[in-house]
Amino acid sequence: MKNVKLVLVLGLAVVLVAAFTLPGCVPEVEEEVPTGPIKIALLIPLTGPFAMFGELQKNAFAIAYEDLEAEGKNIINGRKIELLITDTQSSKDIAKTAAERVISVDMVDMIGSVYSSAEGAAIAPVAEEYKVPVLINAASKDAITEQGYQWVFRANCPSSHYTDAPVEFFEQVLKPKTAALVYENTDFGMSSAKGLRLRFEILGIEIIHDEAYEKGGLDFTPMLAKIREKNPDLFYPVSYVMDAVKVSEDMKKLGLNIDCFFGGGAGYVMVEYVEALGKDTEGIFSTTLWVPSVNWPGGVGRNSTDFANEYLKRFGKDPHYIAAQAYSSMYVIQDALSRAEEISHEGIRKALAETDKTFTMGPIKFESWSDDIGHSYTQQNKAPTYVVQWQNEKLEVIWPLKVKTADYIFPTPKWGEK
């Protein structure tokens, strides 16, 4: 009896799988001259823990696409650009499966957007294996562009280089002697910390506290109490999303005042940060990849201020740099498609490799380069980074000097005096 059931069930499983895969059984007819739309897949998280950022990307792409439409640029040689938005459910496995799908079933011409580091690390090899160009605009894992991939392009900064502008700023302006470095134990946090350790050593800044924390913490007081005992010149926490709010609030509760409170990107520049902390943000430094006030001359598409206003008007929220990166990517894609000799994977790859223009988030050019801390990248854009500071609840650029919008305040005011 048991046997019959086993066979029945196994058979049922096979039938289910087979039924599902049946459309794949039909041999694909090679089209000679494709006439349909040019398909661009966006593999972004719309559910799960990263959904908020997927939403930012989706919205920014929507604005960019409508802008292109208004200019009539969304049609290339009579073929319309079509965006195929796919949810990765914030899961690396689903992201990989989704990449396989858009490549082998939907036959997309390229993949245009990838959010998290883990998803990037899953999608990039798939794209490489099937020779489909992929443009990464948010996944910051260093290793993605360190594998020598020929088909993977990255417009955003790798996580070790988020600290470029701050390091220059410390070297030339603040010159701290001692630093406390804390970071979330994710790829982003650990890579940033690794890069900083090497750079601080070069600059002669002594790291007197170095600690990772589990992201999403309920209470940071024990860690901050230890830092209070050591009293460093510089406090550099690398936190994502709301941990930044918690760290700052717990510092306030402890009365932990540090001359230079320097948030390491991401969380410290989000709208939610200033919404939660209000005027307590005064004088807090951070690093960021895009600011609404820096308008690159000669940029394709809306300039930064314009984009920020449009995003606010449309979605009722200030955009994060993730959105600006996504907006620029749409234009990078359009630019490459318009220059491509033929709309094929190889043609698009060649055109992408020759990208050399200025976009909303800054100049984009995919180059091979090495840095002073042992990374060597291929087809990696050298994205600009900025040092910003919260002044009167607004982000002001203070470094690099040529784009600064305000003088910096130093030291960061004490918590009670803001």
Partner 1 sequence: MTLFGQTVVSGLLLGGIYALIAIGMTLIMGVMKIINLAHGALIMVSMYIAWVLFNVWGIDPYLSMFVVMPILFGIGFLIQRYMIQRVYGVETILPQSQLLLTLGIVMVLTEVIRAIFKSDYYTVRTSYSTSTFFLGDISVSIPMAIGFGIAMALVAALHIFLSRTDLGRSIRATAQDRDAARYMGVNSVRITAITYGLGAALAAAGGVLFLPMFYLWPDICPMFTIKAFIITVLGGMGSTVGALSGGLILGIAESLGATYWAMGYRDVVGLIIFILVLLFLPYGFKSLIKR
Partner 2 sequence: MTKRNKLSLTVVAIVLLALPWMIQASYYKDIIIMTLMWITLASSWNLLGGYAGQVSLGHTLFFGVGAYSAGLMAHHFGVSPWWGLLLGPVMAVIIGTPIGLICFRLRGPYFTLSLLALGEIFRLVALNWESLTNGAVGILTMRTWPGVKEPYYYIMLAITALCIYTCYRLMRSKFGYYFLAIREDQDAAEGLGIPTTKYKLYALIPSALFTGLAGAFYMNYHGFIEPDIVFGLIHISVMIVLCVMMGGAGTLGGPALGAVIYYVLNELLRVPLGAASRLVFGVIVCLVIMFLPNGIVGEMSRSGRLRGLFRRRKPSYTGGE
Size of the site for partner 2 (CB under 8 A): 60
Beta strands in 289-333 (DSSP E): none
Distances (CA, A) of 397 to 43, 249, 388: 32, 23, 4
Taking CB under 8 A as the criterion, the residue among 35, 218, 313, 372 binding partner 1 is 218
What's the chain's Rg over C-alpha atoms? 23
Over the window 240 to 279, marking each residue x when it contacts partner 2 by CB under 8 A and - when it does not, the resulting string is ----------------------------------------
**Helix/strand/coil (H/E/C) assignment for every residue in 235-261:** EEEECCCCHHHHHHHHHHHHCCCCCEE
Q: How far apart are the first and last CA of the chain?
A: 78
* 212: contact with partner 1 by CB under 8 A: yes
* 346: contact with partner 1 by CB under 8 A: no
Cα angle: 115, vertex 119, 124; to 5 degrees: 100
Closer of 63 and 99 to partner 2 (Cβ)? 99
354 binds, among partner 2, partner 1, none (CB under 5 to 8 A by kind): none
d(C-alpha 18, C-alpha 16), whole Å: 5
Sites for partner 2 among residues 110-149 (CB under 8 A): 118, 121-122, 125, 128-130, 141, 143, 147
Sites for partner 2 among residues 5-64 (CB under 8 A): 5-14, 16-18, 20-21, 24-25, 27-28, 46-48, 51
* 221: contact with partner 1 by CB under 8 A: yes
Residues 6+ apart with CB under 8 A from 232: 176, 178, 179, 180, 208, 209, 258
222 binds, among partner 1, partner 2, none (CB under 5 to 8 A by kind): partner 1
d(C-alpha 227, C-alpha 287), whole Å: 21
Residues 108 and 36: beta-carbon distance below 8 Å: no
Given the structure tokens 């994977």, which residue do they identify?
345
Residues 68 and 135: beta-carbon distance below 8 Å: no
Q: CB 49 → partner 1: shortest distance, Å? A: 5
Closer of 120 and 299 to partner 2 (Cβ)? 120
d(C-alpha 158, C-alpha 343), whole Å: 29
d(C-alpha 71, C-alpha 110), whole Å: 22
Structure token digits, residue 88: 């990765």
* 75: contact with partner 2 by CB under 8 A: no
Taking CB under 8 A as the criterion, the residue among 144, 241, 266, 388 binding partner 1 is 241
Taking CB under 8 A as the criterion, the residue among 82, 100, 272, 318 binding partner 2 is 100
Amino acid (1-letter code) at residue 327: Y
Q: Please list the helix, strand and coil fractions of the chain in percent, rounded to the nearest 5, in that order.
A: 45, 20, 35
Residues 113 and 85: beta-carbon distance below 8 Å: no
* 186: contact with partner 2 by CB under 8 A: yes
* 280: contact with partner 1 by CB under 8 A: yes
Closer of 267 and 362 to partner 1 (Cβ)? 267
211 binds, among partner 2, partner 1, none (CB under 5 to 8 A by kind): partner 1
- Taking Cα atoms as reference points, which of 16, 1, 50 lies closest to residue 266? 50
Binding piece for partner 2, criterion CB under 8 A, among 68-76, 92-100, 244-252, 296-304: 92-100
Q: CB 260 → partner 1: shortest distance, Å? A: 21
Chain-centroid distance, C-alpha 365: 17
Binding piece for partner 1, criterion CB under 8 A, among 51-59, 101-109, 151-159, 379-387: 51-59
* 252: contact with partner 1 by CB under 8 A: yes
Q: CB 320 → partner 1: shortest distance, Å? A: 11
Chain-centroid distance, C-alpha 71: 27
Taking CB under 8 A as the criterion, the residue among 169, 220, 290, 386 binding partner 1 is 220
The single-letter DSSP state of residue 37 is: P
Amino acid (1-letter code) at residue 57: Q
Sites for partner 1 among residues 309-338 (CB under 8 A): 317
Residues 109 and 34: beta-carbon distance below 8 Å: no
Chain residues binding partner 2 by CB under 8 A are: 2-14, 16-18, 20-21, 24-25, 27-28, 46-48, 51, 85-87, 89, 91-94, 96-98, 100-101, 103-105, 118, 121-122, 125, 128-130, 141, 143, 147, 185-187, 189-191, 212, 214
Chain residues binding partner 1 by CB under 8 A are: 47-49, 51-52, 54-55, 182, 185, 211-214, 216-223, 225-226, 229, 241-242, 245-246, 249, 252-255, 272, 275-278, 280, 317
